[in-house]
Amino acid sequence: MRATPTKSRSAYGMAETANDQAANHFPVSLCWSRLRPERMAEINEATDLLGQLADEDVEAAPSAVNVPAERSGDVARSGLYALFAQLFAFPKLDTVKLLASADWSAQLAELTEQLPYALAAGDSAVVYEEREVSLTFSRLFDVVHGLPALSLLERRYGENKVQKKLWEDLLRYYNHFGLEFSHAAAEGGPDHLVNELEFMHYLSFLQCGNGDAGGDFRRAQRDFLTQHLGQWSGEFAQRAAELADSQPYKSLAGLLAAFVEADLNYLESQLDAFK
């Protein structure tokens, strides 16, 4: 199956383009410069199953997408990775307005309720001043002198992280699953939090769209969390909690760490069922 080349809104409210040409962007970020041909059939099948919404002005929640019931939890997982990627990216106007309204907490609550495991949404009902969001992001994550107050890079967490080796491993993951990484367009290097979140969104998107009968995408997600995102999200949340005046990112980091831990446990239980 091939999706008709259309622009639409995905199940997660993100601008989406899908067709069978390898030069097209995957619908998450410009950091993925192009999709390699060998993955396009899987992507097209996923977008077909999850539903192309022809009207760009329509935004549908995961519950509104016509997918098999047994996959709805994985649709929510994919959507939550996409939402976290948006919220931890440099706050453009749409993200700032989202955090300054009740919409982000509603999206978060709906996605967490549909997860295939329990996850508390915490104090996500709080809304923030638009100016406060931008100033807090700059104060925490921007590099003025030396290192930022709170790094969004995996290489800054754990011990003995060699940047060259870390990047090589991450790029092997990205390339193996058909993504070519663009340093020029990315938020940061391959180990930036947003890029790792978008990669998990991508893998879980393909998983729930293709059924993943053999568990290949599940194994890839489990391994990526074990070797990368799951290794440092907890320490990232801990450092955020220790900083004063770090909202909304302190709460988001705590929820992200809880989500990653729960998601890893879920993936391991699913893979055990295949044995």
Whole-number percent of the chain with pLDDT over 90:
34
pLDDT 10s digits, 132-152 = 888 899 999 987 777 899 999
Q: Return the axis-axis angle of helices 40-50 and 193-210, rounded to nearest 10°.
A: 70
Determine how many CB atoms are found less than 10 A away from the CB of residue 202.
Answer: 28
- Angle (CA) 205-102-70 rounded to 5° is 30
Question: Is 246 a member of any domain?
Answer: yes
| CA dist., res. 117 & res. 151, Å (int) | 29
Which positions ≥6 away from 260 have C-beta within 8 Å?
225, 229, 230, 233, 234
| CA dist., res. 31 & res. 230, Å (int) | 21
Structural domain harbouring 76: 68-274
| CA dist., res. 109 & res. 125, Å (int) | 9
When pLDDT is cut at 50, 70 and 90, the band that residue 275 belongs to is low
pLDDT at 110 over 60: yes
Q: Are 56 and 47 in contact (CB under 8 A)?
A: no
| CA dist., res. 69 & res. 34, Å (int) | 32
| Total number of domains in the chain | 1
Phi then psi for 6, rounded to 5 degrees? -135, 155
Q: Residue 208: name the closest of 46, 48, 44, 26 by CA.
A: 46
| CA dist., res. 65 & res. 50, Å (int) | 6
pLDDT 10s digits, 47-79 = 665 554 223 333 433 333 455 566 778 888 999
Question: Is 81 a member of any domain?
Answer: yes
Query: Residue 51: what pLDDT?
Result: 52
Residue identified by tokens 């220790």 is 242
Query: Residue 64: what pLDDT?
Result: 38
Query: Residue 123: what pLDDT?
Result: 60
Q: Residue 228: name the closest of 164, 272, 148, 167 by CA.
A: 167
pLDDT 10s digits, 81-94 = 999 998 998 888 88
Among 30-34, 110-114, 134-138, 150-154, which is the least confidently predicted range? 30-34
When pLDDT is cut at 50, 70 and 90, the band that residue 154 belongs to is very high
| CA dist., res. 45 & res. 229, Å (int) | 27
CATH number of the structural domain spanning residue 176:
1.10.3480.10
User: For residue 33, with 0-12 CB atoms within 10 Å meaning exposed, 13-18 middle and 19 or more buried, which class applies?
Assistant: middle
Question: Is 255 a member of any domain?
Answer: yes
Q: Are 22 and 29 in contact (CB under 8 A)?
A: no
What is the end-to-end Cα distance of the chain in Å, rounded? Answer: 30
| CA dist., res. 46 & res. 90, Å (int) | 28
Handedness of CA 62, 210, 17, 152 (dihedral sign): positive
Question: Is 78 a member of any domain?
Answer: yes
Query: Residue 50: what pLDDT?
Result: 54
Question: Count of residues for the chain?
Answer: 275
Q: Residue 249: name the closest of 191, 185, 193 by CA.
A: 193
Question: Is 30 a member of any domain?
Answer: no
Q: Which secondary-structure segment (H or E) carries 194? A: helix 193-210
pLDDT at 263 over 60: yes
Question: Is 159 a member of any domain?
Answer: yes
Query: Residue 8: what pLDDT?
Result: 27
Tell me which of 29 and 234 has the higher pLDDT. Answer: 234
What torsion do the CA atoms of 84, 200, 238, 129 make, to the nearest 10 degrees? -10
Query: Residue 103: what pLDDT?
Result: 79
Query: Residue 181: what pLDDT?
Result: 79
Question: Is 43 a member of any domain?
Answer: no
Q: If you average pLDDT over residues 175-200, what whole number do you get?
A: 82
Question: Is 90 a member of any domain?
Answer: yes
